[in-house]
Homo-oligomer: A and B are copies of this chain.
Amino acid sequence: MIRFYNGLVLEPSGVTENEVWVDGSAISYVGPAREDMPLFDCIVNLRGDLLMPGFKNAHTHSGMTFLRSAADDLPLHQWLEKQVFPAEAKLTAESTAAFVKVAFLEYLTSGVTACFDMYYHTDEFARIARDWGFRAVLCGSFTAGNDWEEMYDYYQHYNHDFGPLVSAQLGFHAEYTTNREKLEYLSKVCHELKAPVWCHNAETASEVDGCIERHGVTPTKLFDSLGLYDYGGGGFHCIYMTDEDLDIFARRGLTAVLNACSNGKLASGFFRLKEAMEKGVRLAVGTDGPASNNALDMFREMYLINIMAKLREENAAAGDPALILNAAVSGGARAMGLDDCDAIAQGKQADMVRIDMHRPNMRPVNNVVKNLVYSGNPSNVRMTMVAGKVLYENGEFFVGEDPEDIYRAAEKYTREILG
Contact = CB atoms under 8 A, between A and B. Distances in A.
Nearest to A404: B358
A76 interface: yes
A295 B307 CA distance: 13
A72 B321 contact: yes
A316 B361 contact: no
Contacts of A315: 75, 267
Contact of A65 (B74, B109, B363, B407): B363
Contacts of A303: 300
A102, A366, A367: residue with the most chain B Cβ atoms closer than 10 Å: A366
Interface string A46-71: 00000000000000000001111110
Contact of A294 (B266, B290, B375): B375
Contacts of A319: 73
Given A73-B319, A267-B313, A316-B266, A361 B378 contact: yes
A316 B267 contact: yes
Interface stretch (A129-137, A191-199, A410-418): A410-418
A340 interface: no
A374 B317 contact: no
Given A304-B307, A361-B295, A69 B367 contact: yes
A379 interface: yes
B377 A297 contact: yes
Nearest to A270: B311
A99 to B, nearest CB: 8
Interface centre among A73, A307, A360, A375 (most CB of B within 10 A): A360
Interface majority SS on A: helix, strand, loop or mixed? helix
A97 to B, nearest CB: 14
A205 to B, nearest CB: 10
B317 A74 contact: yes
A360 to B, nearest CB: 4
A318 to B, nearest CB: 7
A69 B358 contact: no
Given A310-B264, A314-B267, A370 B72 contact: yes
B364 A267 contact: no
A378 B377 contact: yes
15 contacts: A65-B360, A69-B367, A73-B316, A102-B360, A109-B361, A261-B307, A264-B311, A265-B310, A266-B310, A267-B313, A269-B311, A270-B311, A295-B361, A304-B304, A308-B311
A-B pairs with lowest CB-CB distance, top 3: A69-B370, A105-B360, A379-B379
